[in-house]
Each structure stands twice: as structure tokens, then as C-alpha cells.
């Protein structure tokens, strides 16, 4: 299973509410979790980091990693509402 672009992007409001970051793949999600994530690092953060690393390595379906990443963003209060 190859790591690839997600079917649907995840948009985050990290710096301020006027700007957002678009995450398109498990690799981008891992980078975001490591470098841009706010101090709100709960259980969902830990699971998202694990699953996104697995998806980036091609051992887990992208849909599972994306769902975990989105749940972590929601828990951290940074998921952009459409």
C-alpha cells in the first residue's frame, strides 16, 4: 500500500482564525503534528501521530489516518469549520 494524497484535505486554523493550513497527506500530517501543533496534545493527538506515521510508511489505509488526524484537530480546537 503506497502513501499518497488524501481524498479530502483537512484544513486547520493554527496561527490565527484568518489563515489556515491545508493538510493533503499523511506525511504532511506527521510534519504538522510534530512542528505546528498547539499545546493541546491529548489522546487523539497520540493516536493520530501513530496512524499517520503508519499511513506515511504505507502500512495503513489513508482514510484511517485522515480520520484520526481530523479527530485530533477537532479535539485541539483547530479544525477549520466549513
Query: Which pLDDT does position 40 carry in this prediction?
Result: 83
54-75 pLDDT, tens per residue? 999 999 999 999 999 999 999 9
Query: Which pLDDT does position 32 carry in this prediction?
Result: 95
For the cut 90, the answer to whether the pLDDT of residue 16 exceeds it is no
Q: Distance between CA atoms of 46 and 33, rounded to whole angstroms?
A: 9
Position with higher pLDDT, 15 vs 12: 12
- Considering the chain, what percentage of its residues have pLDDT values greater than 90? 76
Local confidence band at 18 (pLDDT 50, 70, 90 cut-offs) = confident
Amino acid at each position: 500500500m503506497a502513501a499518497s494524497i488524501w481524498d479530502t484535505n483537512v484544513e486547520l486554523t493554527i496561527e490565527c482564525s484568518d489563515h489556515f493550513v491545508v493538510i493533503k497527506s499523511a506525511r504532511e500530517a506527521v510534519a504538522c503534528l510534530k512542528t505546528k501543533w498547539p499545546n493541546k496534545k491529548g489522546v487523539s493527538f497520540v493516536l493520530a501521530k501513530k496512524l499517520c506515521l503508519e499511513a506515511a510508511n504505507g502500512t495503513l489505509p489513508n482514510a484511517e489516518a485522515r480520520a484520526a488526524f481530523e479527530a485530533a484537530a477537532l479535539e485541539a480546537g483547530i479544525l477549520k469549520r466549513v
